[in-house]
Amino acid sequence: MSALRLASSLTRRAPRAFSAGRRGYAEASDKIKLSLVLPHQAIFSSTDVIQVNLPAATGDMGILANHVPSIEALRPGVVEVIDSANTSKKFFVAGGFATVHPNNKLTVNVVEAAPLESFSAEAVRANLQEAQRVANGNGSEEDKLEARIEAEVYEAIQHAL
């Protein structure tokens, strides 16, 4: 009986899922509210978007609407936002935290972020060399650690470009 009901509800739902689905996910037409904020600028504030790809510390992940609540530390990398007009925007972020909340909200707090196209490859290369020089030099342990993190960030930018 219940199997029958399931089957009938499936057939009822099926055409709608196909008509709505450019991408074939069950709830793909729903949007998630994204807040991508920096200390000095709010890039997105509670904006409806379709999908957000995050460079989480545990691996890259994509977030759609009605994702399970979760907290992810971000490593330096590219955040890709696919907004409601289905256009993709890429930002390089320097690390922070992304939190998916139970009320279909995604907040991304990062210390620094910029659109990918605003980076200059030459400047990145020069700064990377400088950071590597300090990291391998004979400064204090703290300086070296800072420089190593800096170098990691630059490598991530280079990789993203």
Partner 1 sequence: MLARTAFARVAQPAVARAAPAGARNMATLREIEMRLKSVRNIEKITKSMKLIASTKLNKAQRALQAGKEYGLANSEVFQHAPAENVGKRKLFIVISSDKGMCGGIHSSVSKATRRAFKEQDVDADSPIAVVGDKSKGQLSRTLAENLVITFNQIGRDVPTFADAAGVADLIIKSGVQYDSIAIVYNKFVSAISYESDIVEVETAEALKESPGFKAYEMEEEVTNDLAEFALANAIYAALVEGHACEISARRNAMDNASKNAGDMIANLQLKYNRGRQAAITNELVDIITGASAL
Separation of alpha carbons 152 and 157, rounded Å: 9
With binding defined as CB under 8 A, does residue 40 bind partner 1? yes
Separation of alpha carbons 2 and 66, rounded Å: 26
Pick the piece of the chain touching partner 1 (CB under 8 A) from 7-15, 36-44, 116-124, 133-141.
Answer: 36-44
What would the x/- binding string for partner 1 be over residues 6 to 25, using CB under 8 A? Answer: --------------------
Q: Exactly one of 29, 35, 53, 127 binds partner 1 (CB under 8 A); which one? A: 35
As measured in angstroms, the least distance from the Cβ of 31 to partner 1 is: 17
Q: Exactly one of 7, 26, 57, 123 binds partner 1 (CB under 8 A); which one? A: 57
Percentage helix, strand, coil, to 5, in the chain? 35, 40, 25
Separation of alpha carbons 160 and 154, rounded Å: 10
Please say whether the beta carbons of 63 and 90 come within 8 A: no
Q: How far is CA 11 from CA 14, 44, 127, in A?
A: 5, 38, 59
As measured in angstroms, the least distance from the Cβ of 73 to partner 1 is: 5
Q: Which residues bind partner 1 (CB under 8 A)?
A: 35, 37-42, 45, 57-58, 68-73, 96-97, 99-103, 105, 107-109, 111
